[in-house]
Structure 1
């Protein structure tokens, strides 16, 4: 591979890694002032732990020799010494680094559902176990030769389309987040409007960083394909996201009377989530429509937690699970050449539904079992008095904002 392509792979890796600090700002701005450090630390903790596990054995698990295998052998090249000594190590190791950033942000996304009430140590334990049993195998199923990757061949239908993570990242994280809301329960005083963002500029900054990094997320994989589809993917990543912002704000204006900055940021993320699996397989017009659908539906979906009674603190379910499902299933109708409404028949829709539902159910069950086991042993949720006092000072011994009162 030429030096330019390798350099693009390195840049794409840096862009996707930058998304997780962006997520930390996005989530950190949405929580209360006395929980912002805790919220941001869960993202940075995921970087440290999941990045380490990916290099030790996660990369080995993310590829299989048979569509019926659960995952690759984690000990086949523990620590990647053999890969690093191979003839194509320069290219291969960039691929490993790029893959690590997807694993990291998938786990970090989950933390938004349990804001204000999770122990950091328990979160880190969950992150490590879920990465091992949740993300690494699912990555193998979707991209590494597993059952979802091979589903089209197995059924004699078109291949599942998930270019950059509608199933493996967003449905996976959203389903796991939903499971943890049941494990940890509701925040004290959980009602609509009771927990307002403490720093809206942080939210906007985080969304901007996420959008910036998302070009590495979506376009980045093209470094292995000589950037053959980079133009379409780039334009779709802009178009769907822009349309989703507009749609979210319109729904918010009609529903609540005022369009908000948090709504604009949330709409952008919803559009990015939805276009992730579809960015290489839609023409620009259909990408715009996908953004409209995702922005409008996700703006309504975030209200489900109040109607159904689960406390998804920062709307991981309403944005990532719902947005991931929309983007994944939308391909069944509008994927270029294979979509149902573009003359392709039902095959694409069938495989998209199977892959989406399979990943969703598995991720929910695994996350619930891991979270429940942690809660019943070392405890996952902080004490009520610690939640009220503010978990930043209780758990981390720090405060986000130091106010000094001048003595007269």
Structure 2
């Protein structure tokens, strides 16, 4: 990937007489990690946030898009465990000791109620299957999306609670919920996007990079990808990416030959260079700040920890247990103002990359994740005045 050399050239040309700190977040961390191999002399430090691990001696230790749903499932279970560790959330599931197992049993029950087109066995299953999907698929994929947001993730236990209890009012609430998801899908086309957004959004470039550098090869087959999806309480439909892998790589490997009506294609991907799957070495006098979130499903915390272990040189790892993707956005503090992630990053730069001087005191003021918070709009989601109960203020 030559982008690392382009970035190094820009820094050398434009900023050679400055002290430079390079910050990357999400999949931009992969580019920053590659830049470490070519560290310009003016760079004093690197910071990566929401980390894609650059290397690993097994595919399980590399952040690959092919195991996306497997990773989402792990973080989803961690989120459900946090629910059971809080009195308010746990009180909604009396007698339940293993919430992920409870959710899988609920999925099986809902799917069985509408199998083979059956209706009338479970009003909540009927409500959640109106768009043609299995109820479990609708919920699993929606939860995977909701878990990405500090605001909507709080609603996940409420949906589970209503689907399990399934009173007449719950069925009405879930029908409202499913209809809202259907309307959101209808409004998600590119025709509704702003031109300025489309200029910087390229599926072609995205798939080119992913399938060249960040997908397991040979690929897991369709059955494996679907099993990762179905074995997760929350997921993101990653099995649908398999045909794109086959088209972009032109591969005729087993997993691609299984797909019917897939045309032969000329490979579009580029070759991996000599720096692929190799951790960088920080030069003397250059440091790195790494930040991860325990509820980050897009770049799982484990990959940040692995990057920290494999990177050589002076570095510092900061983990936020409740934070989602990119801690500079997902670490609010009780006192308000800038997030803790931003404060630590600013301190790192202010202290000129001297790690022992970085101020992390804001971690003592982090706003905890509370399942009783009213961050999710119950009226918007369910047409009800409360996430869990059917109050007299319902419209």
Q: State TM-score, norm by structure 1.
A: 0.30
Larger radius of gyration: 2
TM-score (norm 2): 0.31
Q: Which has the higher helix share?
A: 1
Question: Where is the strand percentage greater, Structure 1 or Structure 2?
Answer: 2
